[in-house]
Structure 1
Amino acid sequence: MTAHVHMYNYFGGVATLLVPDNCKTAVIHTKDWYTPKLNATYHEMAEHYGTAIIPARVRKPKDKASVEGAVGNISTWITAALRNEQFFSLEELNTAIREKLEAFNHRTFQKKEGSRWSLFHHEEFPFLSPLPTTPYELADFKQATVQFNYHISLDGMLYSCPYEYIKRKVDVRVTERVLEIFYNHNRIASHKRLYGRKGQYSTTLEHMPPDHQKYLEWNGERFKQWAQRIGPNTHQVIIAILSSSRVEQQTYKSCMGLLKLAERHSESRLEAACEKALNYTASPSYKSIKNILATGIKEISKPETEKPTKNTFGVTRGANYYGGKYNDK
């Protein structure tokens, strides 16, 4: 495909027809010569340039006889001519090939007037279609399944698509710079391609379920302000949770869960539970606060004026109850 792009750029236009061999990079199978199935990338390239592809028939060398002859001439006048020269970079080699190619094209014919260059520019170039605004970018096509987190995984990276497509199989078009996701030939997502460390995410906000979108709107400062309205102890616990991870965003779920406990129990009880937890540790967790509210809720809500009854005896019942020989007088 890249060779075609360079060819069109060199010609300065696009041919109406392409007649390739039946290689796998062009034709997937040719059970019926009239309806050959083309490689997806090759077909897309032809669509980009607006040209038609008509593969040569199998074992029919006359379909491309002139091309085969040109290949032999190129081998003689360029490849063989440079065989004894030494090059130290690909750029040097390409420059030398370009010089030989220009000399070959301007070389006059033996049996007719003109050269390949003059023949092309006077008889063939006027029939070429103009080049598109941008050259074709080589693409690779793959399939993937949308995971439960509304992302697909490709080459160790994760890219989002609308959550409605969870568990669906999608087609993925990958270029050097862009990744596009299609479902039933309709594009549903597009991302800049990720490189580097594996496990990176490219997530579009609109692809997320509504509840996940609201979650992303939160940040550490908002959690602190919400906790401060409940009480100083809750505020201190939120600060501790936010500091418990090297990546603050990983603690947002715990912060949200902790503050939501006020809706289930009450703000006063949550504040009391946080105070009790801070008496034991400077870094309480959401789980510890939740356990205090579930198991010690009566102790937390007990009025401060209520005092336990003091028992002056070592046992609750006297010796007479157990059949002792001493009687109270």
Structure 2
Amino acid sequence: MPVARISMRQIIEVLRLKYESGLSHERIARACGISKGVVGKYVSLAKVQGVTWPLPEGTDESRLEALLFPATTPPTRFAEPDYFQVHQELKAKGVTLQLLWAEYVERHGDKAYRYSQFCHHYRGWRERQRRSMRQVHRAGEKIFIDYCGPTVPVVDRATGEIRKAQVFVAVLGASSYTFSEATWSQRLPDWIASHQRMFAFFGGVPELLVPDNLKAAVTKADRYTPSINETYADLAAHYRTAVLPARPYKPKDKAKAEAAVLLVERWILARLRHQTFFTLAELNKAIADLLPPLNQRPFQGRSESRRSLFEGLDRPALRPLPATPYVYAEWRKARPGIDYHIDVEKRLYSVPHALVGLVLDVRVTHNAVEVMHKGQRVALHPRHGKDRFVTLTEHMPKSHQAHKNWSPGRFLNWGKDIGPSTQAVVQMQLLGRPHPEHGCRACLGLLNLSRRYSRDRLEQACARALAINSTSYQSITSILKQGLDQLPLPLSEDETEMTELPSHTNVRGSHYYH
């Protein structure tokens, strides 16, 4: 006959009053607010289970409950399924619980559960597992990516300076097969390079990449429409996969990554804590040596390992690597100015002049600058070179192409041939501009003025422009149109001071001091 359950605190009080105070069962019942029969049953139960008073040291309510009510496995005529194996089988594409139940029935016949009980027992088993274990990830579907919280110190042999290395972790959803390495930072170049080595380690590409919302992956975190970093999206497009960041404040989305990070911290970083590393390569060699035993270690209570599940589930389902390696590129926005050039790291590159004022996408690789408009490439330049300005003739307006052979040196020689004032104005036009093209335009305007006015007049107009400190093309044009070049030049301040003063009775002459 089953014993009526009361709280463990009441049971302890019953035993104390019985053996320490020596009260009768009737008095114990009244003191504890229970029946006399219940008191007798718990006293008898304690004797049967060998529980004595005082209780053994360290025995709390949970321990006492385990002693009084030891777990027993109820007899059953049904064959229990291997729920772990069921869970792993469900990760294969097209496999359902209905199919697995049918195979289970074929093996066990009359001893098999009905389908509803089979599903009920499996779901109960799954709920008892860790959060990362409860989720069902399809084979080859997802790679979860994150960084460990702890860093690893790397000592510079020459200076003794200590740098903190970040630890990158990636794990396949279905098999939990794990990759890890150290980098100097979590910034975009290291993030992308770690992904390239991760794909090489797994030997294939999943359908989805699931990173946390760090800046190298997500430029704007949002629960529904996160903005993916354009370089990261470019990498995903090259490998023919997609990026699906974990939702902010949704830990279930990245439970697999959190479990892998914890595993790497305990299995790898904890083992390396007493070692001193002098280069990043040394640290990565040590991590690489510990990855095989981590992945080949059987799951607790199982014969399967991450490696065996990877070979059976994920590896066959991964997409092949692309034929060509990914070329690292950063994406930027740029708006060309009126000189139809964009600025990339203080170097100017031309674009078609019709795109002046529009916002363009710029893809910058190690060797090239590629300019895109509405997804179409409109300009491609080598990134490095001696000149600050990189200009293609086909990007220039027709009028500029006609004069593209006019160099600054040629303009200066032309101005010198006209006269010293014209040469000075040309030099000011070329040197006083943010871009040579601006100065060349003004010089071309002066060249056109020399065809409409005589050389002498142009020289006098430039002299007046220098005198009044207004040497723009518009100013010189105005001087010529109004004929001001034919008037005497205004005196400078020094010349005005040196001019003889007019005669006046109050002005003392030199004879005054004799």
Q: 1:183 aligns with which of 358, 361, 373?
A: 373
Check the 8 A contact 1:48/1:136 in 2, yes or no. Answer: no
1:210 equivalent to 2:398? Answer: yes
Match of 1:13 in 2: 204
Match of 2:239 in 1: 49
Q: 2:311 aligns with which of 99, 102, 121?
A: 121
Check the 8 A contact 2:329/2:363 in 1, yes or no. Answer: no
Check the 8 A contact 1:157/1:194 in 2, yes or no. Answer: no
Match of 2:42 in 1: none
Q: Partner of 2:379: helix, strand, or coil? A: strand
| C-alpha spacing 1:208/1:6, structure 2 compared with 1 (3 Å) | same
State the 1:46 CA deviation.
Answer: 1.9
Check the 8 A contact 1:163/1:209 in 2, yes or no. Answer: yes
Segment of structure 1 superposing worse, 23-32 or 212-221? 212-221
Give aligned-pair identity as a percent.
38
Task: Give 5+ residue unaligned stretches, structure 1.
Answer: 228-233, 275-286, 298-329
Which amino acid is 2:269 matched to?
T
Which amino acid is 1:215 matched to?
H
| 1:1-329 alignment runs, 5 A limit | 1-2=191-192, 3-27=194-218, 28-32=220-224, 36-41=225-230, 42-132=232-322, 133-141=324-332, 143-194=333-384, 200-217=388-405, 263-264=451-452
State the 1:295 CA deviation.
Answer: 10
State the 1:196 CA deviation.
Answer: 8.6
- Cα offsets for 1:127-153 (capped at 9, x unmatched): 111222122514233x33211111122
Partners in 1 of 2:278 and 2:368 — Cα distance? 33
State the 1:222 CA deviation.
Answer: 9.5
Check the 8 A contact 2:204/2:320 in 1, yes or no. Answer: yes
Partners in 2 of 1:73 and 1:258 — Cα distance? 75
Partners in 2 of 1:68 and 1:25 — Cα distance? 19
State the 1:264 CA deviation.
Answer: 4.4
State the 1:208 CA deviation.
Answer: 1.0
TM-score, normalising length: structure 1: 0.63
| C-alpha spacing 1:171/1:254, structure 2 compared with 1 (3 Å) | closer
Partners in 2 of 1:22 and 1:258 — Cα distance? 58
Partners in 2 of 1:181 and 1:158 — Cα distance? 12
Greater Rg over alpha carbons, structure: 2
Q: Partner of 1:56: helix, strand, or coil? A: coil
Partners in 2 of 1:161 and 1:103 — Cα distance? 55
Partners in 2 of 1:202 and 1:31 — Cα distance? 43
Match of 1:313 in 2: none
| C-alpha spacing 1:252/1:162, structure 2 compared with 1 (3 Å) | closer
- Cα offsets for 1:264-314 (capped at 9, x unmatched): 47xxx879x99xxxxxxxxxxxx9xxx9xx9999xxxxxxxxxxxxxxxxx
Partners in 2 of 1:31 and 1:70 — Cα distance? 23
Check the 8 A contact 1:140/1:175 in 2, yes or no. Answer: no
Match of 2:182 in 1: none
- Cα offsets for 1:88-130 (capped at 9, x unmatched): 2112222222112233223344433353233323321111112
Partners in 2 of 1:72 and 1:258 — Cα distance? 73
- Paired residues in the alignment total 275
Which amino acid is 2:229 matched to?
A
Q: Partner of 2:348: helix, strand, or coil? A: strand
Q: Partner of 1:19: helix, strand, or coil? A: strand
> Could you list the runs of 4 or more consecutive aligned residues of structure 1 that deviate by over 6 angstroms after TM superposition?
219-223, 234-237, 249-262, 294-297
State the 1:235 CA deviation.
Answer: 8.5
- Cα offsets for 1:6-45 (capped at 9, x unmatched): 211221211112222344443423243xxx2332323332
State the 1:85 CA deviation.
Answer: 0.9
- Measured on the aligned residues, the alpha-carbon RMSD in Å equals 4.7
Partners in 1 of 2:418 and 2:378 — Cα distance? 44
Which amino acid is 1:61 matched to?
P
Check the 8 A contact 1:146/1:152 in 2, yes or no. Answer: yes
Check the 8 A contact 1:152/1:159 in 2, yes or no. Answer: yes
Which amino acid is 1:192 matched to?
P
| C-alpha spacing 1:140/1:221, structure 2 compared with 1 (3 Å) | closer
